[in-house]
Structure 1
Amino acid sequence: MRNKKVAVTGGLGFIGSHLVERLCQENEVVIVDNETTGSIKNIKHLDFSNISLDLGDITEIDLVNSFEGCDYVFHHAAMASVPASVADPIQCNLVNITGTLKVLLAARDSGVKKVVFASSAAVYGDNTNLPLSESTPLKPVSPYALSKAVGEMYCQLFADIYELPTIALRYFNVFGPRQDPNSQYASVIPHFISRILKGERPVIFGDGEQSRDFIYVKHIVEANLRACLSDFTGAYNIATGKRTTINQLVPVINQTLGRNMDPIYNEPRAGDIKHSLADVSKSEVLNFKPSINFADELGETVQWFVKNSCR
């Protein structure tokens, strides 16, 4: 993609900032972010000549003005934590459902060509019929998961009723540089890296045999670009189709850091699912089939944390 104007909601966040980093090289990028979980430090290394900031909450600011002249919108702004959504379902509903509706309305009214919606594998819930395909019935088990399922439905509704092309990307477990390890609800990989770097034992909720389909953030960026420029709509799994247990992460991170920290096991968290694995055959129509070297990608992530002293 080049010579376009695009908006990235949540563009100061973990995934959003990587998307901005790629897009701003050859396009004009508008970032919409309220800095709740995102940070300007995530893009401080970029050339701002092609970047403009519209700081504010998607539920409050004038998104039509934000999206003026934009060809595409990448919607990543969200309450992106299962435990946080369980603790505050009303706020989750406001940000993830009402916020998504406002993004879609503004995109429609601004003449945007397509909206790419960041959804989640959480919409499948604790479904044991693995691998999970896009035809698998949705079974959300947390307010976060429910909000993403509703967001997908709104995307399809706007495509059907208002002829606004939309595509929903169901991310599985994304990891990579710039994930926040200091959040109360930090994702497992940055949590493990941060604690081991500090000489502390990583905390595993449950027995550690729960498994995830981990995907590196650079592949997520590539999937967004391919989905945006395609003629396809609907929902697509964005994952590797490979499963890793939480217990398997600890020795790899220990080895990379030259440490030997045994994990602490705590009670499982409410709303967390046991296993997750994607059927990625449908996403191949997007010409998206990432080459995966999990150990190397995890190593790159660890080295970023070491270099940036996220301790």
Structure 2
Amino acid sequence: MIENSKVLVTGGAGFIGSNLCEALLGQNNKVVCLDNFMTGHRHNIEPYLSNPNFTLVEGDIRNYEDCQKAVEGVDYVLHQAALGSVPRSIVDPMTATDVNIGGFVKMLFAAKEAKVKRFVYAASSSTYGDSKALPKVEHEIGNALSPYAITKYVDELYAKNFSDLYGIETIGLRYFNVFGRRQDPNGAYAAVIPLFVKKLMAHESPVINGDGTFSRDFTYIENVIQANQLAAITPTKEIKERAKDYYTKHKQNDTWVDTDSVLAEVFNVAFGERTDLNELIDALRTNLAVFDADIAKVQIIHGPTRAGDIPHSLASIEKGKTLLEYDPKFSIKAGIKEATKWYWENL
């Protein structure tokens, strides 16, 4: 765990960011939250505004001065700020690029100038694109299927380049379909789990894109919190020692392991299990029916397949387990139970 440190969480009023803020504050840290509330919500951080160890910087990662202000005196950066959603990036690729690449570079450069210990950033499983290989292994990616996927991969390239050029340690975390408390069910680009939950609680029929056989590695928020903290504080020396065996096993030649090159790595963050959408909706109905039996009777509608969607996604988490000692505790079954309870109590 990160303790007794000053941590910047960009996008700290968002779903993942606010959960990171909560965890870090509970571990005796000073937390700076940078958010422009484009997709984040003030109510997510309302409980922390009176905490003397919490600082809100209302600003935009596309504004370099805001980045400089937020990163001042910070030990670690957990960069979550981005404009998510594959469909949104297809509708508006310019803003997605401006935020996810332009804002990323400004934040990364500000962190470099402030001499932070490590820059941990949210990457994405969308980077695997049209690769049909399962499970997804970090060093094997396909062609991008959306502007969003391109932006997240470009971030990885920039992070590696900045590590090589400027000596800033970077770790990217390729999130696989994260879900849990505070994930917003509203709006045109709501994620599938909170959207389904909202529909079911209203006794309305959720719409599954396609026949429901598309599958994902759904990942509960607590696993993501663990991964971010391990990525921030696991000593470079330990990562390099563990990496030697991993890269030998996978017949890779990452020279940074045996040289003085600065740490620049990417890891999958998932549970390592695949669930299709039909199985998902059944689990949601079953768990919500504990609170309202009529939910079990809600019918499901199948619509057309969504543009830019890949059929299947499953992560190999071997690299994270080996190099970071990542050990996810929440399966989708356990996570759905926790998440549905939270939504029932809070929606």
How high is the TM-score relative to the length of structure 2? Answer: 0.87
1:295 aligned counterpart, secondary structure: helix
Give the distance between the partners of 1:239 and 1:297, measured in 2 at CA. 12
Q: Is the 8 A contact 1:67 1:106 kept in 2?
A: yes
1:56 aligns with 2:87: no
Residue 277 (structure 1) aligns with: 314
Mapped contact 2:208–2:300 kept (Cα < 8 A): yes
Is 1:192 aligned with 2:196?
A: yes
What is the CA-CA distance between 1:218 and the residue it aligns to?
0.8
Shift of 1:61: 4.9
Deviation at 1:251, TM superposition (A): 1.4
Identity %: 43
**SS of alignment partner, residue 49 of structure 1:** coil
2:170 and 2:142 mapped to 1: Cα distance? Answer: 19
Q: SS of the counterpart of 2:47?
A: coil
Q: What is the rounded CA distance, in whole Å, between the counterparts of 1:288 and 1:211 in structure 2?
A: 23
Match of 2:25 in 1: 24
Listed as ranges, the matches of 1:1-311 within 5 Å are 1-25=2-26, 26-46=28-48, 48-62=51-65, 63-230=67-234, 231=236, 232=239, 233-258=264-289, 259=295, 260-284=297-321, 285-309=323-347
Q: Which one is further off, 108-117 or 249-258?
A: 249-258
Q: SS at 1:12's partner residue? A: coil
Give the letter for the 1:292 counterpart.
F
1:259-307 CA deviation, whole Å, 9 max, x = no partner? 2212111111111111100111100120102123322320110111110
Question: Matched residues in 1 for 2:124 and 2:163: separation?
Answer: 19
Q: Distance in 2 between matches of 1:296 and 1:124?
A: 26
Letter in 2 for 1:82: V
Matched to 1:151, the amino acid is D
Which deviates further from its counterpart, 176-185 or 226-235? 226-235
Query: What is the CA RMSD across the aligned residues, in angstroms?
Result: 1.1
TM-score (norm 1): 0.97
1:139 deviates by 2.1
The one-character-per-residue Cα deviations of 1:183-211 (angstroms, maximum 9, x if unpaired) are 21111110110000011001111111000
Q: Is the 8 A contact 1:27 1:50 kept in 2?
A: yes
Shift in Å, 1:40? 1.5
2:31 counterpart SS class: strand
Secondary structure at the counterpart of residue 46 of structure 2: coil
Supply the distance in 2 between the matched residues of 1:138 and 1:23 (Cα, whole angstroms): 35
SS class of match (1:43): helix
CA distance in 2: counterparts of 1:129 and 1:138, whole angstroms: 9
Structure number with bigger Rg: 2
The amino acid of 2:340's aligned partner reads V
Which whole-Å CA distance do the structure 1 matches of 2:332 and 2:174 have between them?
Answer: 20
- Which ranges of structure 1 fall in alignment gaps of 5 or more residues? none
CA distance in 2 between partners of 1:308 and 1:241 (Å) = 29
Contact 2:269 2:320 in 1 (8 A): yes
- State the shift of 1:138 in Å: 3.9
**Letter in structure 2 aligned against 1:29:** V
Query: How far is the alpha carbon of 1:35 from its aligned partner?
Result: 0.3
Distance 1:293 1:134 in 2: 21
Contact 1:213 1:242 in 2 (8 A): yes
The whole-number CA distance in structure 2 between the counterparts of 1:257 and 1:290 is 24
Structure 2 SS opposite 1:287: coil
Q: Distance in 2 between matches of 1:24 and 1:90?
A: 35
Q: CA contact under 8 A between 1:126 and 1:275: conserved in structure 2?
A: no
Q: Is the 8 A contact 1:6 1:30 kept in 2?
A: yes
| Alpha carbons 2:64, 2:106 under 8 Å: kept | no
Structure 1 stretches of at least 4 aligned residues deviating more than 4 Å after TM superposition: none
Which amino acid letter does the alignment assign opposite residue 3 of structure 2? R
CA separation in 1, counterparts of 2:164 and 2:156?
12
Residue 39 (structure 1) shift: 0.8
